[in-house]
Amino acid sequence: MINIDQALFWSLPGPSGFIDDIAEAVTKHGTVAIQAPLYRAPGLSEAVIERLENDGYVPVFTVPPGARGPIIHRLAVAGGEMRMSMRTAGSLIDKPEFRGAAFFIEDINTGEWDNWVTFFRSYSAEWRRRSNEALKPVLVALVPPDVPKADLDRLFLGALVRWSGRVSSFDMRTYISRRTGRFTGLPLLEKVAIEVAIRLSGYDPRLAEYLVTLDPVSAVDPWDTLKAAYGGNADVRPCWGNGLVDTIDGDVYIHTASLIAANDRKAFDIRRWRAVSGPVLDFNATVCRHFADVYANLIDAKLPWRVALPFGEKIVTNRYDMENSYIRECLGSALEEGEIRFLKQTAKARNNIAHNDIPAGALISTLSTTWKTYASSSKKETVGWNWPRCGQKLVMMVGPSGAGKSTFAKTNYPPDEIISADAVREQLFGSAVVAGPQAKIFKVVTERLVAKLSRGESAVLDATNIKKRDRLNIVDLIPEDIKVEYVVLDRDMDDKRRDGGWRNGRDGLLEGHADIFAAEIADILAGDQRTNILVTDQRLGNTK
């Protein structure tokens, strides 16, 4: 049995509005019928009783569904009286002990409906006859979902409150967000998993509770998991009365259990597609904008970008209008292998959505994890607040592959100050030539760099640092009152090829780095517009 947070669910706008309607009907009419499907959110009775008590109907006597005997005797027993102490509806109203009280009648059995019709008719007549009396006891009854509408109209004209269309998508989004504690700024995979849970749970908080317990990859496509739970109900035809159909936001919604039982994979996947499409398309747009910013100088230099289409030519004049494939084609060898792979994976997910398909959970997980490497972290004002200020500084070597950065660093700085990305790569993967995951390498590099600076020691970062994103990711780890120096180096391409060694074995590496460096050099020499950055241009031998 899956438990839900009943207090949270019945506080949501839709469900709490239902309880408000019941309370209003009680005030106006005294005798109220609630009609709800057999399968419904737990806690309805508790929510109604609590509201009656809060509105001053004290005590609230509950008539359980298993009670037996004449109806008036059941109410007497519920009120703590002897069975034979009341014989008529009028005697119940007149009893002093029941002044200002309420009777809540739970889940009337359909087979006893005719007897209850007689009682309600009698009670309503006696209640109206005493219209001038105060504190008459009120009745609230949970009536069967499958009784004739004509009976309800005659007995409870204006006092029938029906559970239909009471849960909105906003309600379910709020419920899931509060239950999981996950609101904004979620990784792509978690965002998709929550959207799928919202779409598939519909109006059912129990299903929502189950879906959010799945691991996020499985939650993207929970068909097989739900099939094991619901597959045996194929003979149950969905209708409002059994709780398998309702409306959400004005549209008819068949419970996901019925889709599973009917083996309707198509309808199930349409719901998943609607859940996944928004986050994936937003993610692709975010990724494109990110690379447009990282490689702004290179892209802007090639604008307008012309794209041949089957029905003419498309001209892109703004880098933020560059699509995923345009960015890859425009930047070419300037992109690293990992960046190309990531962009292609993002494009694959986007194209899945464009063709009414759904990206696999494993692909979404890969995108979500890889994005952490690229997403810039916002600078915190309190960074380094507890570091000693001993005159330490950070020196960042800046230059393309083969520029002579490592040689310069070893010649000009103490060995214990140098933190080399190549050295870390060799420690992690056994060779400085193996590319290895950049995220793993620079996680170690930044940990060592921050540890050294936080102790009041200077550090020299020996890496290419030719991309503004990479430079500022490091700079933003440093308090603004600690100096940073860019030491800029480069050599002629012929010299780099002559001494290239393993670099010559990577097609386009030297040329690609040279292109990025050329596009970034203006920002590099300007210290990336940061006031705490000094630039030493060793290509020219001057300092600015």
User: Does 6-162 match 394-543 in CATH topology?
Assistant: yes
**b/e for 244-269, b at 16 or more Cβ within 10 A?**
bbbbbeeeebebbbbbbbbeeeeebb
Higher pLDDT, residue 460 or 532: 460
CA-to-CA separations, 197 to 188, 309, 364, in angstroms, rounded? 14, 39, 16
Beta-carbon-side half-sphere exposure of residue 129 (alpha carbons within 13 Å): 11
Contacts 24+ apart (CB under 8 A), 282-289: 283/188, 283/346, 283/349, 283/367, 283/371, 284/324, 284/346, 284/347, 284/349, 284/350, 287/324, 287/342, 287/343, 287/346, 287/371, 287/374, 288/320, 288/322, 288/323, 288/324, 288/327, 289/320
3-state SS of the chain: helix, strand, coil percent to 5? 55, 10, 35
Beta-carbon-side half-sphere exposure of residue 111 (alpha carbons within 13 Å): 3
Token pair, residue 417, equals 């100050």
Q: What is the CATH number of domain 394-543?
A: 3.40.50.300
pLDDT value at residue 426: 87
Higher pLDDT, residue 446 or 236: 446
pLDDT value at residue 235: 66
pLDDT at 1 over 70: no
Higher pLDDT, residue 293 or 225: 225
**β-bridge pairing 305-309 and 312-316:** antiparallel
Going from N- to C-terminal start, the domains of the chain cover: 6-162, 169-263, 271-374, 394-543
Contacts with 239 (C-beta within 8 Å, 6 or more apart), sequence order? 245
pLDDT mean over 46-63 = 96
pLDDT value at residue 167: 98
Question: What percent of the chain lies above the pLDDT cut of 90?
Answer: 73
Fold type of domain 6-162: Rossmann fold (3.40.50)
Higher pLDDT, residue 409 or 82: 409
Amino acid at 246: D
Whether residue 64 has a cis bond before it, omega within 30° of 0: no
> What pLDDT band is residue 381 in, cutting at 50, 70 and 90?
low
Higher pLDDT, residue 84 or 463: 463
Nearest alpha carbon to residue 326 among 318, 352, 372, 370: 318
Token pair, residue 423, equals 């050295």
The tens digit of pLDDT for each residue in 439-464 reads 788 889 999 999 999 999 999 999 99
Tell me the β-bridge partners of 160. 33
> What pLDDT band is residue 541 in, cutting at 50, 70 and 90?
very low
Higher pLDDT, residue 255 or 185: 255
pLDDT at 540 over 60: no
pLDDT at 233 over 90: no
Highest mean pLDDT among 118-122, 379-383, 474-478: 118-122
What does the mean pLDDT of the chain come to?
A: 91
pLDDT mean over 453-478 = 92
Phi/psi at 416 (nearest 5 deg)?
A: -75, -10
Please say whether the beta carbons of 161 and 32 come within 8 A: yes
pLDDT at 166 over 90: yes
Q: What angle do CA 47, 48, 54 make, to 5 degrees?
A: 90
pLDDT at 368 over 90: yes
Contacts with 160 (C-beta within 8 Å, 6 or more apart), sequence order? 25, 32, 33, 35, 152, 153
> What pLDDT band is residue 377 in, cutting at 50, 70 and 90?
very low
Phi/psi at 229 (nearest 5 deg)?
A: -85, -40
pLDDT value at residue 332: 93
DSSP 8-state assignment for residue 140: E
pLDDT value at residue 232: 67
pLDDT at 500 over 70: no
- The CA distance from 220 to 359, in Å, is 9
pLDDT mean over 384-388 = 87
